[in-house]
Structure 1
Amino acid sequence: MEKKEENVMPSTSLTAPFVHGAAELERTARGLRPHRLPGWVRERFPDPQLLMVEGQPSGVRVVVTTAARTVSLVTHPLRVAYRGADRPRGAVDLVVDGESVASSVLDGGDVIEADLRTGATELRPGPSHTTTFSDLPSGDKLVEIWLPHNESVELIELWSDAPVAPVEPARRVWLHHGSSISHGSNASAPTRIWPAVAARLGDVDLRNLGLGGSALLDPFLARVIRDSQADLISLKLGINVVNLDGMRLRTFVPAVHGFLDTIRDGHPTTPLVLASPIFCGIHEDTPGPGAVDPDTLGTDHVRFVATGRSEEQAQGKLTLRVIRDALAEIAGQRSDDPNLHYLDGTTLYGQDDAAEHPLPDALHPDTATHRLIGERFARYAFTEKGPFTSS
């Protein structure tokens, strides 16, 4: 169904109504760049890691109704590559009337190559990329083109052999915030990250604020969630705080309370799931910071390690077990909020799962495990008596 070819079909200028799941669209010399965080955050806190991951449009898609049998999306990708650590290219996925139909791996675009040993970077420009999906079903249909979760793109043109029209979102909006696992790390395609899997099963529109390395209880993130449209909210917190060794228990607990308080200022009764980290053996009892295992550089099988010492927990350093206990206690302390629900992350992926579905790099799940986590979250949240069950 997928092929790449020169387009001779009429084009449609993409505007905001065609793009779902983004905070805003930046006008560039080529077209439109989707952003998952608003401009005021990017201006006030231009952290390179945050800017990189918020510009990767995880959960963002071009949505149209059309009778077209062929559609082509022209993009200009920008990716980050690491010397000695080969990473798969991003992909563009096609969903028709709610069913995943095809996936196409990106080619071309610009690449920023980084040396993990020295920190040096080099920009290498490349050509734009056209992804064409053909042999679509006949008749009017809802077409969603999911953008890559792990590369940023500029949207240049949409070509089709029949007119397209934007779609007003009609389903409930589920806003999810989490770490690189929620962002989609190690999943092979944008519709195969676990929040996308769960959203499809729950029949909701996803707004994904999974931000690799950046789920750090930043006050501006709470403000973004507070001010965003959301019928359902979930927060998966903890692993990045350990990775960064960014807090101690004394500061972590009030930071979570403050994060929740800010969100509740804008969403006082919205169903909200507070989820703790999934099982991750390197950080269960060993604090951060996390680091790349230097012995795996250059092998194309990079793995992560924890560099702290277990005994440092006595000084308030955080591990995943400590964080799970703290989040459960925080939820209990907020028992006056009947719409707040605590979810133990190990029910999504636990120690027993690690034997059958090991984390390839000791930190992030593979595609099959993303599906497992997404299915389990959907079973918990969207089924009868779940916190996100439609009334």
Structure 2
Amino acid sequence: MSRRMFPVVAALQPIWLRKNFLAQYTSRAFSSQILKSPSLLSLDRADSWCSASKQSDHLAIQECSNNWTAEIIDGKAIAEGIRSRIASEVRQMKELIGEVPSLAVILVGQRRDSQTYVRNKIIASEEVGIRLKMIGLPENCTESEVCNALCRFNEDPSIHGILVQLPLPQHLDEAKILNAISLEKDVDGFHPLNIGSLAMQGMEPLFIPCTPKGCIELLLQSGIEITGKKAVVIGRSNIVGLPKSLLLQRHHATVTVLHAFTKNPEKIAREADILVTAAGVPNLVRASWLKPGAVIVDVGTNPVEDPRSEYGYHLIGDVCFDEATRIASAITPVPGGVGPMTVAMLLYNTLESARRAFKFTY
């Protein structure tokens, strides 16, 4: 069967056949070598409810004192370790078969944050030995121009991963463009079949979206328990909020999603053992939103004008960091938290895609 036929065939097959087909394309052993995140299929468990509700014991929450300071989850250091292991895999691939993974990036427009993200991806790709090709298109480009670029990358066997930097200008149909990416090269994990597989027990996507996967890896590598915890995700975007909530559920957290229409968001957020913010609103989450001892994963990357900075701005998160460090048990900083992990997961997905394409094992 042609690999290019996979999206069509998979969509027509019954669920049990699709599950087996996806499993053939998923490298579980490879994941355990570089990441701590297990195969999603290995996490699947049947829900077994007790006939009578039994109250669980709660760990005592440490009361905050004046000298309380949260542990800083160093995403930069964790990502460096992952990138080092990816670089080692790329070197072995080059030595054994004379090939290296290749990533294609399409950047539309001149958004400063998007340019920063792409610049970081270029640097990181070069560091680990992954080839990167980039196409820059003007803000007013047509949908056809973007899709034509995608089509060329889809058909190029030397390209193993394709990334369209989001968000796109409003006149472009984001869903249509993402759907045009070859499923086997969707290293951002946003193809509908990848998201659908993420949502369903018994299924495993070819790629998990990079930022949500990076958040999970941060928690796991920091020794933070997810199973059974109450998690609150602020934001429900297709890029972070939605897939993050699905992934937390696959890791057996009890998940609540807050959005702009949620009533009493502050009260709900204050119940979270794990709080993930991806609203894109600077300092939205203040001390009053936080449960003492909570773990905070701040995905917000909000540019603030700063003439002293090299690029004319600096980034802050959705969480008021100074207030949060006096209440939370652990927190990711901005920058230096989730951002480096997102890039590391992109490199990981690209390497895994190349391994499938080359049928590379050793």
TM-score by length of 2: 0.32
Higher helix share goes to which structure? 2
Higher strand share goes to which structure? 1
TM-score by length of 1: 0.30
